[in-house]
Amino acid sequence: MPREVREVVFVDGVRTPFGKAGGMYAETRADDLVIRCIRELMRRNPQLPPEMVDEVAIAATTQTGDQGLTIGRTAALLSGLPKTVPGYAIDRMCAGAMTAVTNVAGGIAMGAYDVAIAGGVEHMGHHPMGEGVDPNPRILAEKLVDPSALVMGSTAENLHDRLPGITKERTDRYGLNSQLKTAKAYADGKLQPDMVPVALRSAEQGWGLATTDEAPRETSMEKLATLKTPFRPHGRVTAGNAAGLNDGATAALLASEETARELGLPIAMRMVSYGFVGVEPEIMGYGPIPSTEKALKKAGLTIDDIGLFELNEAFAIQVLAFLDHYGIADDDPRVNPWGGAIAIGHPLASSGVRLMTQLARHFAEHPEVRYGLTAMCIGIGMGGTVIWENPNWDGAAK
Phi, psi dihedrals of residue 193, rounded to the nearest 5°: -60, -30
DSSP-assigned beta bridge partners for residue 273? 387
Q: Which of 275, 338, 273 is nearest to 311 (CA)?
A: 338
Closest C-alpha among 156, 104, 123 to residue 283: 156
Q: Are 385 and 275 in contact (CB under 8 A)?
A: yes
Could you give the CA distance from residue 302 to residue 371 in angstroms, rounded to a whole number? 10
* Selected catalytic residue, list 94, 123, 126, 127: 94
Contacts of 141 (CB under 8 A, 6+ apart): none
**Alpha helices for the chain (secondary structure H):** 30-44, 71-78, 96-110, 137-141, 152-162, 168-187, 221-225, 257-263, 288-299, 316-325, 341-344, 351-365
Distance CA 338, CA 365 (A): 13
Closest-CA residue to 145 (of 283, 261, 48): 283
37 belongs to the catalytic site: no
Select which of 37, 123, 160, 377 is catalytic. Answer: 377
- CB 308 within 8 Å of CB 356: no
Identity at 165, one-letter amino acid code? G
Please return the burial class of 180, using the count of CB atoms within 10 Å of its CB with bins 0-12, 13-18 and 19+: middle
> Which one is catalytic: 123, 127, 346, 366?
346
94 is catalytic: yes
Q: Which of the residues are catalytic?
A: 94, 346, 377
